[in-house]
């Protein structure tokens, strides 16, 4: 039964160690993956915005070429013989017919003849003059519509999944739902509830702007292959981590067990397996502070094996050690789980009793005294020897500091010895002056 329990405990320790190693590796891997994925998304978005900005900038730059072409076209119309002859004749019908034939307008004074130029347009013009006097102005134009946008997109490096949109005064002119409201903020453009990555550049014509846009979903999809490879590598790493965790479980469990053993050694008396003086001092400070905070009781019992030196001298150290161990077991078997039994030094023991008043501590000390009194120990020569112990009890808040409680319990223990040993004595409030005098003398 005991062997099976140890085996099960060993397996649990290995599993726990493996789980600790695996969790640590997963946490580190998660942080690395998060950082890589965040950087990849940031880099991808930065690249997408740079490509969109380049496309918008090149498209806007192409407007100057279109404007120059319009001017050249207007100059060609103005220099044609038919147009000049019609202007010189002053015949409005002839001028209008010639202007329509060249898809142009001709302005003579306040009159405008030829084709109408409706909507928002980009214009080019040229003058017809005679001896320095302007006779007429020829105007040709192109509407800021889909055909104009296509001309801009032809030379612009528009990325795949991207497009150009003409925008004026917060409304779409071309490249989207004409007239739809748009809102551009922080590199994002919203049209009819859809969100696009966007970069804007002014055209310098009719307060219009060209905006290069790409759906946010398309921007995110650009790194989907990388993310798939990343998460595949993460899954593979997790599998390796699991194998590594199993591999490291045994040394990790051994290390944890060693740490636990070292901590227990640092707090435990080697002979009796009860707490040592260091642990006692720590626990007494903690419990007294706890009792002060909650305004409750805390008691201390000190015990000393009677005539222990003579037992050691007459029967040997092995018998003395057996007596010490037996008294420790009697103490440990009489207290609660929340109490602490410690070897105070040599043949002395102490018990810290949280939440216990003076009378409760006295009753416990009396139980332990009777248990010790009932013990007998077999000697090497076949005989038997009985032992007894004396007890001193003190409590908080009668004594308000660790030093005062220990001094009071030690003084009560001295009284028990003076009363003939094998008894319990308590320190009351009237013993305060004696305790203070004893502390001052020490």
pLDDT at 196 over 80: yes
Of the three residues 202, 233, 267, the one that is the final residue of a domain is 267
* Domain match, 287 and 432 both: yes
Q: Which residue has the higher pLDDT, 64 or 414?
A: 414
Mean pLDDT for the stretch of residues 242-260: 64
**pLDDT-based confidence at residue 4 (cuts at 50, 70, 90):** very low
The residues, ordered by sequence, that sit 6+ positions from 177 with a Cβ below 8 Å of its Cβ are 191, 192
Could you tell me if 198 and 187 are in contact, meaning their C-beta atoms sit under 8 angstroms apart?
A: yes
> CA 44: distance to chain centroid?
24
% of the chain exceeding 70 in pLDDT: 87
Give yes or no for a cis peptide into 303 (omega within 30° of 0): no
* Domain match, 261 and 347 both: no
Mean pLDDT for the stretch of residues 268-297: 92
pLDDT at 168 over 90: no
Q: Which residue has the higher pLDDT, 240 or 6?
A: 240
Q: What is the pLDDT of residues 212-244, one digit of tens each?
A: 888 888 878 787 888 888 888 888 887 877 776
pLDDT at 379 over 80: no
Backbone φ and ψ for 90, nearest 5 degrees, come out as 75, 10
Mean pLDDT for the stretch of residues 167-189: 85
Backbone φ and ψ for 128, nearest 5 degrees, come out as -110, 120
Q: Which residue has the higher pLDDT, 261 or 92?
A: 92
Q: Of the given ranges (6-10, 104-108, 143-147, 266-270), which has the lowest mean pLDDT?
A: 6-10
* Domain match, 422 and 314 both: yes
Q: Total domain count for the chain?
A: 2
**pLDDT-based confidence at residue 422 (cuts at 50, 70, 90):** very high
Mean pLDDT for the stretch of residues 374-380: 84
Of the three residues 267, 292, 311, the one that is the final residue of a domain is 267
Residue 325 covered by a domain: yes
Domain that holds residue 202: 1-79+145-267
* Domain match, 263 and 287 both: no
pLDDT at 402 over 70: yes
Mean pLDDT for the stretch of residues 40-56: 85
Q: Of the given ranges (75-84, 365-374, 410-419), which has the lowest mean pLDDT?
A: 75-84
Mean pLDDT for the stretch of residues 34-51: 85
Residue 173 confidence (pLDDT): 84
Residue 135 covered by a domain: no
pLDDT at 287 over 90: yes
Residue 134 covered by a domain: no
CA pair distance 96, 266, nearest whole angstrom: 111
What is the b/e burial string over 34-66, where b = at least 16 CB atoms within 10 angstroms of the residue's CB?
eeebeeebeebbeebbebbbbbbbbbbebbeeb
Mean pLDDT for the stretch of residues 241-250: 68
Residue 97 covered by a domain: no
Residue 289 confidence (pLDDT): 94
Cα radius of gyration rounded to whole Å, the chain: 50
Residue 255 confidence (pLDDT): 62
CATH number of the domain within which 300 lies: 3.30.70.270
Residue 299 covered by a domain: yes
pLDDT at 30 over 70: yes
Q: What is the pTM of this model?
A: 0.48
Q: Mean pLDDT in the chain?
A: 83
Residue 9 confidence (pLDDT): 43
**pLDDT-based confidence at residue 362 (cuts at 50, 70, 90):** very high
Q: What is the dihedral of CA 86, 92, 96, 97, to 10 degrees?
A: -60
**pLDDT-based confidence at residue 39 (cuts at 50, 70, 90):** confident
Task: Tell me which range, 20-24, 167-171, 294-298, is most confidently predicted by mean pLDDT.
Answer: 294-298
Residue 13 confidence (pLDDT): 61
Of the three residues 267, 291, 312, the one that is the final residue of a domain is 267
Q: What is the pLDDT of residues 93-133, one digit of tens each?
A: 887 888 788 788 888 887 888 777 666 677 888 888 887 78
């Amino acid at each position: 039964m005991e062997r099976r329990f140890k085996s099960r405990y060993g397996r649990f320790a290995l599993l726990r160690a493996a789980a600790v190693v695996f969790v640590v590796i997963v946490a580190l891997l998660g942080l690395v993956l998060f950082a890589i994925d965040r950087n990849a998304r940031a880099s991808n978005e930065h690249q997408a915005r740079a490509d969109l900005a380049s496309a918008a900038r090149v498209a806007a730059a192409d407007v100057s070429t279109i404007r120059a072409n319009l001017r050249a076209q207007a100059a060609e119309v103005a220099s044609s013989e038919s147009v000049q002859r019609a202007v010189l004749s002053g015949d409005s019908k002839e001028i209008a017919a010639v202007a329509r034939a060249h898809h142009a307008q001709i302005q003579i004074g306040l009159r405008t003849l030829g084709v109408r130029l409706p909507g928002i347009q980009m214009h080019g013009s040229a003058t017809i003059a005679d001896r320095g006097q302007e006779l007429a102005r020829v105007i040709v134009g192109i509407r800021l519509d889909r055909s104009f946008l296509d001309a801009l997109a032809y030379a612009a490096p528009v990325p795949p999944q991207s497009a150009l949109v003409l925008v004026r005064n917060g409304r779409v002119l071309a490249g989207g739902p004409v007239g739809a409201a748009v809102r551009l903020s922080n590199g994002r453009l919203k049209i009819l509830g859809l969100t696009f990555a966007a970069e804007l550049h002014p055209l310098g014509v009719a307060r219009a702007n060209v905006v290069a846009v790409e759906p946010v979903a398309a921007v995110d999809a650009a790194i989907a292959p990388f993310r798939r490879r990343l998460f595949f590598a993460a899954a593979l790493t997790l599998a390796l981590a699991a194998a590594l965790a199993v591999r490291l479980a045994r040394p990790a469990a051994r290390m944890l067990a060693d740490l636990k053993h070292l901590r227990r050694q640092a707090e435990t008396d080697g002979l009796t397996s009860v707490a040592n003086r260091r642990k006692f001092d720590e626990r007494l400070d903690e419990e007294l502070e706890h009792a002060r905070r909650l305004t409750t009781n805390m008691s201390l019992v000190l015990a000393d094996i009677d005539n222990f030196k003579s037992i050691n001298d007459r029967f040997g150290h092995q018998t003395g050690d057996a007596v010490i161990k037996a008294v420790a077991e009697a103490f440990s078997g009489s207290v609660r789980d929340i109490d602490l039994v410690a070897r105070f030094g040599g043949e002395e023991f102490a018990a810290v009793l949280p939440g216990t008043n003076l009378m409760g501590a006295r009753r416990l000390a009396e139980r332990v005294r009777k248990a010790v009194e009932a013990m007998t120990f077999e000697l090497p020569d076949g005989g038997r020897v009985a032992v007894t112990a004396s007890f001193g009890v003190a409590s908080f808040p009668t004594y308000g500091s660790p030093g005062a409680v220990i001094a009071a319990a030690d003084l009560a223990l001295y009284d028990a010895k003076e009363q003939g040993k094998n008894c319990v004595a308590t320190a009351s409030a009237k013993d305060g002056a004696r305790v203070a005098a004893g502390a001052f003398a020490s």
